[in-house]
Amino acid sequence: MNVNLRKRKQGKSNKVALYLDIYKGRTVDANGKTKYLRTYEHLNMFIYDNPKTNSDKLHNKKIMQIAKNIKNKRELEIYSGRYGIKTDTDCKNTNFYEYYCGLAENYKLESSCWRSWKSSCQILKEFAGENITFAEIDENFCERYLRHIQNKTSMHNRSLKNTSINYYFRRFVYAIKCAVKDKIIKENPATNVKLLKVKKTEPVYLTFEELQTLIKTDCKDSLLKRMFIFSCLTGLRWGDVYKLTWSEIEETQGKCSIVFKQQKTQETNYLPLSEQALNCSSFDLLLHFRKSRFRYNLTVIFHFSVHN
């Protein structure tokens, strides 16, 4: 934030108008577009562009001094908070919990991300309440918050794994970094807080025989079973299967492919569908596709109540 004294030529005359250009910072809208916040104050004073006489030169010197005094006064008003611009103290008194939940709202349309963000909001609320401000968040707060997450239990009353603890804490650190970027705070107090060590585990895969057994086994939730088998036969992540719509399936010469963006990487992928995937668990995907592609183009293929 700063104040600059500017000059503007007035038509064809020999006069130059003076005004203040007051820069208040910038904001980023929902579409990621940056908007610079400026106001202009016309001083209703002028100087001569090419002063020739001693009188004109004296006039310019006197007016420029007055304009600079006004500029300095506006700068003092800015730093004292009287000009509608937030000072460092004002920013630090911003409600962190509301800011955090506001970031979470950005992920409301992404099911898996939204669930984790919603849980992280609840964990933060349990630890610090709803009235926590940025001024209260220092390195000690960050360390205590990490320990708080370590003491949490899952919905099955089991201790959280280090990967889950780190996952929730990264949400918190992401919010802090966003606040630094938004110039609410000057530095990240969590910089020196170390995440927990995570042991690498070897992935376990189902054998063909195990998958065959799974297909033949009854399940109370038939939709969940079909989704899991479809995921096994296509290699798609749970999040990608969950949000898959009919519009992402293309049929060419009797063969179907999925054209979609992976939720995690946002990369466009083309995935041919095998006959096993099309008919997994007695689910005739191709027949459904032919019946539904025009009527329910944007409808998800595996429909849960949360999609309503």
Which range, of 49-58, 103-112, 266-275, 293-302, averages the lowest pLDDT?
293-302
Please state, in angstroms and rounded to a whole number, the distance separating the CA atoms of residues 88 and 40.
Answer: 23
Highest mean pLDDT among 123-137, 194-208, 240-254: 123-137
53-60 contacts at long range (C-beta below 8 A, 24 or more positions apart): none
Please state, in angstroms and rounded to a whole number, the distance separating the CA atoms of residues 276 and 234.
Answer: 9
Which range, of 29-38, 64-73, 124-133, 280-289, averages the lowest pLDDT?
280-289
Q: pLDDT band for position 287 (50/70/90)?
A: low
Query: What pLDDT digit, counting tens, does each position of 47-74 carry?
Result: 998 888 999 999 999 999 999 988 888 8
Q: To the nearest whole percent, how much of the chain has pLDDT over 70? A: 80
Query: What element of type H or E holds 164?
Result: helix 162-181
Tokens at 114, concatenated: 């939204």
**DSSP state letters, 176-230:** HHHHHHTTSSSS-TTTTPPPPP----------HHHHHHHHHS--S-HHHHHHHHH
Global confidence as pTM: 0.51
Please state, in angstroms and rounded to a whole number, the distance separating the CA atoms of residues 41 and 18.
Answer: 9
Q: pLDDT band for position 283 (50/70/90)?
A: very low
* Beta strand ranges found along 12-83 (DSSP E): 15-28, 34-48
Phi-psi region of 84 (alpha: psi -120 to 50; beta: other; left: phi over 0): left
Strand partners, 271: 258
Q: pLDDT band for position 4 (50/70/90)?
A: confident
Q: pLDDT band for position 262 (50/70/90)?
A: low
Strand partners, 272: 257
Highest mean pLDDT among 6-15, 28-37, 270-279: 6-15
What integer is the mean pLDDT of 27-42? Answer: 77
Query: Residue 78: CB partners within 8 Å, gap ≥ 6?
Result: 1, 3, 22, 85
Tokens at 105, concatenated: 């709202």
Q: To the nearest whole percent, how much of the chain has pLDDT over 90? A: 24
Please state, in angstroms and rounded to a whole number, the distance separating the CA atoms of residues 285 and 248.
Answer: 13
Query: Is it the case that residue 176 has pLDDT exceeding 70?
Result: yes
Query: Is it the case that residue 174 has pLDDT exceeding 60?
Result: yes
Please state, in angstroms and rounded to a whole number, the distance separating the CA atoms of residues 215 and 252.
Answer: 28
Q: pLDDT band for position 192 (50/70/90)?
A: very high
Query: What pLDDT digit, counting tens, does each position of 70-95 carry?
Result: 888 887 776 655 444 455 555 667 88
**DSSP state letters, 127-159:** HH-S--BGGG--HHHHHHHHHHHHT-B-TTS-B
Cβ atoms within 10 Å, residue 269: 14
Tokens at 221, concatenated: 């939730």
Sign of CA dihedral 275, 276, 277, 283: positive
Q: Could you tell me the CA-to-CA distances from 257 to 270, 272, 282 in Å, in that order?
A: 7, 4, 19
Place of tokens 């203040």: 20
